[in-house]
């Protein structure tokens, strides 16, 4: 799978754990940075990752900041993105089955590297359930984007 990944200065260390794991699992990784502790702005990394997912360059995106919150807020502003902030395995599975999320956000200051690796694996491996009730709810959420485009 082609996976875009980005982090800010509070998340790049966890990114440096996740990127080699993804490559070892056979995924193609598009890493937009950042790569050091110099202070940066999380939207500058969330936006390119989400753009890659929306335009088809990447199938999924992974975003990491200190809490994962800023990244998830920024990601969910991009039309076509459904981003989940996940710090447990139950949610990693459920958000794929129920929400068909295409971007995963995590917080390096919240979750340890071992659990983060397992979260990523479960999130990547779990298919969307295709359940009609879930599709209907996703359609309602994504319909908000059309509404906002008509009445900005």
Q: Which is nearer to ligand RB5, 64 or 122 (CB)?
A: 64
**Neighbour-count burial of 140, counting CB atoms closer than 10 A to its CB (0-12 exposed, 13-18 middle, 19+ buried):** exposed
Q: Does 6 bind ligand RB5 (CB under 6 A)?
A: no
For 62, list phi and psi in degrees, rounded to 5: -130, 130
Nearest Cα to 109, choosing from 33, 42, 25?
Answer: 42
Is 76 marked as binding a ligand? no
Q: Give the CA count within 13 Å in the CB-facing half-sphere of 143.
A: 6
Candidates 65, 83, 84, 103: give the one binding ligand RB5 (CB under 6 A): 65
Number of chain residues interacting with ligand RB5 (CB under 6 A): 8
By the 8 A CB rule, do 59 and 100 touch? no
Span from 21-29, 64-72, 78-86, 114-122 in contact with ligand RB5 (CB under 6 A): 64-72
Nearest Cα to 68, choosing from 10, 152, 142?
Answer: 10
Is 139 marked as binding a ligand? no
Question: How far is 33 from 144, CA to CA, in rounded Å?
Answer: 31
Q: Which residues are catalytic?
A: 65, 98
Burial string for 20-30 (b: 16+ CB within 10 Å, else e) reads eebeeeebebb
Q: Does 63 bind ligand RB5 (CB under 6 A)?
A: no
Q: Does 8 bind ligand RB5 (CB under 6 A)?
A: yes
Candidates 12, 14, 66, 120: give the one binding ligand RB5 (CB under 6 A): 66
The interface mask with ligand RB5, positions 70-109, x = CB under 6 A, is x---------------------------------------
Q: Does 10 bind ligand RB5 (CB under 6 A)?
A: yes
- Using CB under 6 A as the criterion, which residues of the chain lie in contact with ligand RB5 when the complex forms? 8, 10, 42, 65-67, 69-70
């Amino acid at each position: 799978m082609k996976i875009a990944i980005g982090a800010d200065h509070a998340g790049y260390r966890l990114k440096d754990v996740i990127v080699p794991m993804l490559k070892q699992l056979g995924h193609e990784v598009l890493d937009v940075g950042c790569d050091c502790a110099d202070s940066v702005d999380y939207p500058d990394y969330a936006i390119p990752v989400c753009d890659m997912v929306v335009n088809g360059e990447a199938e999924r995106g992974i975003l990491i900041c200190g809490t994962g919150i800023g990244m998830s807020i920024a990601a969910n502003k991009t039309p076509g993105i459904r981003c989940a902030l996940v710090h447990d395995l139950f949610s990693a599975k459920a958000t794929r089955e129920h929400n068909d999320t295409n971007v995963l956000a995590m917080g390096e200051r919240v979750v340890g590297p071992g659990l983060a690796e397992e979260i990523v694996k479960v999130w990547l491996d779990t298919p969307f359930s295709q359940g009609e009730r879930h599709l209907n709810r996703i359609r309602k959420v994504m319909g908000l984007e059309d509404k906002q485009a008509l009445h900005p």
